[in-house]
Amino acid sequence: MIRHLPDLPAAAAAVLLLAVVALSPLPFGSVLPRDRAALEAASFLALLLLLVARRDADALGAAAAPAAAVAGVGVFGLAQSLSWPGWLAELAAPSGAALWRDARALLDEPGGWVPLSVSPAVSRSTALLWLAAAAAMAAAAILARERRLRRLLGAGLLATAIFEISYGAERWFERSSEIWGRQLPGGGARLRGTFVNPDHFAMFLTVALAACFAWAWWSAGRAQHGGAPLERRLLLVVLPWFFFVMLFVGLAFTGSRGGFLGGLTALLAQALALGLRERNWRAALPGLGAVALGLASLLYFGWQQGMGRWIETSAYDVAGNVRRTVVAGSLDLWWRFPWTGTGLGTFRQAFPLVQPAELELTWFHAHSDVVEALVTTGLAGAALLLWGGTVLARRLWRLLRYGRRSEDRAMVLAAWGALAGVLAHASVDFGLTLPANAFLVAVVLGLACGVASRDPSPQAPSASASASAGHSSAGRDREGASSASSRSSIFRSISARRLEMPWSHSGMKAMRSRRIRSISRM
């Protein structure tokens, strides 16, 4: 079989996305401005290369709605950073307009046009990040139908996750808080890889765990086919589960309660999807077995270390801790800016407006990506994200049922689990504010949206297709008519010959009648 190599623009774009997926976690999760700028440049360049090469517009169209929703939030952030007429700002964001009016009065500056964001520079910077994430999603969707490039990105994700666990385990054993030669706060009691915050590392491992389970599910199906040597089939089955155990234990050892909740949610969502897809609960057993295998591995490697924070959690930690106070204050802040929000990425600048006196620290985030998105973009941004998420979920479900190949369906299964796990984790933490995690989720979802489908729904044929179909049907009608006439002529000739043949039924009947007549005359 002839295998065509990917063209140069596709290969270059894949290398750029590989850097986004596999290299972005290494420099502290790309939290520094220069690393974030490198991610943005790589994403925009990858999409530009593919658009110039005019690669697979169908795959790009499949991810158009989710990518448009993400890009729409970025465009909305840019609009928030622009200055608008005072009457329009009063109508859209009265609290924000009042802040700008009071600030200009203190500086004896004239009124007039005011921005909707409390910090326009921050909103512009964050908007660029959202636009770059949308570009990464679109580029991944275009590359999704190149299986070798897709496998390259998946291998890069798993390799980086295993490296992060190995690197973090070495420092965890030493109880060292040093990363790349720098002493960081937080101590070394929790596994965190090269991430500053172990909770952020847990979100990264949640996506990798969902991808590894999808790989194990696909490999098990491949191993059932005959023809392959026994050693190869054993490798197909054992290798993914070996990495799965490493990822599950590593996720538990981060000590992130939200991350562990996200990992379990991802696996259970994948099990549920498999059961509903096959309409048979037995199809969900691999997902349930994966959860059981992970928990059994924790019992072996260290239940206290992996589940210690869960065991020590009290009612105060769950319901009455500081994070609950922050979320309550965040909702109060949203009530002041309900329609357009405080400005994309401006939680740190806006939260002091409602920060209670007992919260003495500076709060950069709301400890809930869902709540922070509502606060900073208002109902307008929330509606965009809700629309994009709904279209994305419907697309993934349809591809999970009608993906062309089992490998395509495995890719969709990985994205399905990653989406469920990340949403569960993001509801109680702020892992998506880290660029490495945000871009990873965008690439995984883009790869899933762009896979080929064998959707059985009827499609209207194009004009050229209808014309060619008409010509072919007319030709078939002419051929059928000619063949029918030829068959009828053959049958007539056979019937005539049978009448002429004395041994035929008609000939024998005529012969008997002639004999009867001749006897009667005698």
Domain shared by 386 and 495, yes or no = no
Residue 186 backbone dihedrals phi, psi, to 5 degrees: 110, -15
Say if CB 338 and CB 378 are below 8 A apart.
yes
Domain shared by 515 and 414, yes or no = no
Q: What is the pLDDT of residue 362?
A: 82
Domain shared by 442 and 509, yes or no = no
Q: What is the pLDDT of residue 9?
A: 86
Instruction: Name the percent of the chain lying above pLDDT 90.
Output: 57
Average pLDDT, the chain: 84
Q: What is the mean pLDDT of residues 107-116?
A: 80
Assess if residue 509 is contained within a domain: yes
Answer yes or no: is pLDDT of 491 > 50: no
Assess if residue 3 is contained within a domain: no
Q: What is the pLDDT of residue 62?
A: 78
Structure tokens at 348: 């740190």
Q: How far apart are CA 426 and CA 424, in angstroms?
A: 6
Q: How far apart are CA 451 and CA 399, in angstroms?
A: 8
Domain shared by 161 and 14, yes or no = yes
Q: What is the pLDDT of residue 323?
A: 82
* Predicted TM-score (pTM) of this structure: 0.84
Domain shared by 494 and 445, yes or no = no
Assess if residue 475 is contained within a domain: no
Domain shared by 407 and 497, yes or no = no
Identify the domain boundary among 434, 449, 464.
449
Domain shared by 290 and 418, yes or no = yes
Instruction: Name the percent of the chain lying above pLDDT 70.
Output: 82
Answer yes or no: is pLDDT of 492 > 60: no
Assess if residue 89 is contained within a domain: yes
Query: Poorest-confidence range of 227-231, 257-261, 500-504?
Result: 500-504
pLDDT digits (tens, 9 = 90+) for 161-179: 999 999 999 988 888 888 9
Do the bridges between strand 182-183 and strand 178-179 make them parallel or antiparallel, or are there none, so unpaired?
antiparallel
Q: What is the mean pLDDT of residues 123-132?
A: 96
Q: Which domain covers residue 337, as residue numbers?
A: 8-449
Q: What is the mean pLDDT of residues 57-72?
A: 85
| 23 secondary structure, DSSP code | I
Answer yes or no: is pLDDT of 297 > 50: yes
Identify the domain boundary among 417, 449, 481.
449
Domain shared by 359 and 503, yes or no = no
Answer yes or no: is pLDDT of 434 > 60: yes
Q: What is the pLDDT of residue 186?
A: 74
Residue 519 pLDDT class (50, 70, 90 cuts): very low
Q: What is the pLDDT of residue 416?
A: 97
Q: What is the pLDDT of residue 424?
A: 96
Q: What is the pLDDT of residue 487?
A: 44
Positive or negative torsion for Cα 287, 256, 163, 145: positive
Count of all residues that appear for the chain in the document = 522
Q: What is the pLDDT of residue 233?
A: 84
Nearest to 384 by CA among 138, 75, 92, 58: 75
Domain shared by 163 and 281, yes or no = yes
Domain shared by 247 and 333, yes or no = yes
Please give the tally of structural domains in the chain. Answer: 2
